[in-house]
Amino acid sequence: MAVNRVIFGGFSQNFVFDHHIDGREAEKIASLFRSLYFELSFVEMARLVDKATAHVWFPISLVVQKFGWQPTEIFFSTATALLKTPTGFQNWCAEKKMHPQDLSPLLSAGDLDLKWFYRDLLTLKLSKSQGTRALELAVELSLMGNDVKTLEAQDNESSAEWLERLTLLRYPETSQRDADQESWMTTLPWPGTSQARWTRQGDRAGVEVKLFVSQPSDLKKYLQGLSRVQDLLEKDRGQKH
């Protein structure tokens, strides 16, 4: 589509509809964009922002708001940083519906050479959560001066193994504590066929327990058994503090 003879979208199409709207009618222009696109990924919005910078009359901040984002300085800085990344990474971001906050590490990347990261992210086919975590680790470890050869994925290394290794490099003490806790979890008297493991979700770590109950009486037995495990956990916590 085009507004006042300036193409803002649909570059690959053979026909472009040109909408003539007075440049001073910002609300009409923004509403037009919102009516034509059900949704825009952050990547698509970043490209629109880049296109709009050459036309002072285009109400880009209002368009950004129409699609549910806040047109802050950080928003526009993240959009600019994203467009400096390889097209393959941008396409991955669009596919995973990445948001500006997911890509905030790019603001700290500066002139870092992250080609190895973009390559490994695509090769290992990371999920959104994995990619978000990997980006954060890649930028932080690079800023800390780690050699690329120690950061890039190794032969036959899975995505989970790669992330685990990067996490260990970034947080060696925390990783060791988690390993100790995970080992200790296996020694506790978990009831019946319950399964428990030590896991970390972002900055929080804890116990994940899985139960299979076929009848109500089983649940009571499990709860009694878990109560004994709770006593041991509280005792251990008391000794550490």
Q: Are 168 and 146 in contact (CB under 8 A)?
A: no
Q: What is the pLDDT of residue 23?
A: 63
Whether residue 81 is predicted with pLDDT greater than 90 in this model: the reply is yes
Q: What is the pLDDT of residue 128?
A: 97
Question: What percent of the chain is predicted at pLDDT more than 70?
Answer: 81
- The better pLDDT of the pair 88, 231 is held by 88
CA 36 to chain centre: 28
Q: What is the pLDDT of residue 17?
A: 46
Non-local CB neighbours of 239 within 8 Å, separated by 6+ positions: none
Per residue in 189-227, pLDDT (tens digit) is 878 777 777 776 655 677 787 877 778 787 888 888 888
Per residue in 110-151, pLDDT (tens digit) is 999 999 999 999 999 999 999 999 999 999 999 999 999 999
Give residue limits of the domains in the chain.
1-71, 87-170, 176-241
3-state SS, one letter per residue, for the chain: CEECCEECCCCCCCCCCEECCCCCCHHHHHHHHHHHCCCCCHHHHHHHHHHHCCCCCCCHHHHHHHCCCCCCHHHHHHHHHHCCCCHHHHHHHHHHCCCHHHHCCHHHHCCCCCHHHHHHHHHCCCCHHHHHHHHHHHHHHHHCCCCHHHHCCCCCCCHHHHHHHHHHHHCHHHHHHHHHHHHHHCCCCCCCCCEEEEEEECCEEEEEEECCCCCHHHHHHHHHHHHHHHHHHHHHHHHHC
Q: What is the pLDDT of residue 195?
A: 78
Whether residue 238 is predicted with pLDDT greater than 80 in this model: the reply is no
Instruction: Provide the mean pLDDT of the chain.
Output: 84
Residue in the structure block whose two tokens are 């139960």? 211
